[in-house]
Amino acid sequence: MCYFLQFPAIGTVLFETRFGSFAKSPSVEAAKFIAAVERLFHQVLKVFVIPVWIDKFYRLKAVQEFYDCMDVMYDFGDMCIEKRLNEIRDKLGSGDFNAEDTAEFLTFLISRDDISSKEISANLVEILMAAVETVGMSIHFS
């Protein structure tokens, strides 16, 4: 439940997308994403105590679920990036794009030529995990 409350703020800053968490029914993609993050945090301790060499011989259920959650998160990141890229292209085509638009975090990353969309997605998901964990621990210990 804690993750459900953190995503609207964090997601809006990082992905420039409203998740709709407080709506009666959030979007299907956002609901999958939030569920994947929650499952990932439950699996993280199980996964990190498993030696890496074991995974080369046998894929444990916890490790597979961890990878599945990460796939959902990266797919959501890719979807947000593609959506924002299309919006930026539309603005560039109509001449409405200005310097103030690059003040948004995702738009700034997209506007750079030295970062691929896969790198942007990976970085956003990693920053998201750090942000959720930081806010979650603050709420937990307050």
pLDDT reported for residue 3: 56
Domain definitions of the chain by residue range = 2-135
Asked whether 73 and 36 are in contact (CB, 8 A), the reply is yes
What does the pLDDT average to over 113-140?
Answer: 74
* pTM, full prediction: 0.72
∠ CA(120), CA(114), CA(109), 5° rounding? 40
Radius of gyration (C-alpha) of the chain in whole angstroms? 17
pLDDT reported for residue 119: 87
Asked whether 63 and 48 are in contact (CB, 8 A), the reply is no
Q: Please give the C-alpha separations between residue 78 and each of 61, 74, 99, 106, in angstroms, as whole numbers.
A: 26, 6, 24, 12
Tell which wins on pLDDT, 67 or 93.
Answer: 67
Asked whether 60 and 49 are in contact (CB, 8 A), the reply is no
Please report the sign of the dihedral spanned by the C-alpha atoms of residue 101, residue 121, residue 27, residue 18: negative
Asked whether 47 and 62 are in contact (CB, 8 A), the reply is yes
- Looking from the CA of 27 toward its CB, the CA atoms found within 13 Å total 11
Per residue in 22-67, pLDDT tens? Answer: 667 777 887 888 888 888 878 887 888 888 788 778 888 888 898 8
- Confidence at 1, pLDDT banded by 50, 70, 90: very low
CA distance 133 to 27: 23
pLDDT reported for residue 97: 65
Asked whether 8 and 21 are in contact (CB, 8 A), the reply is yes
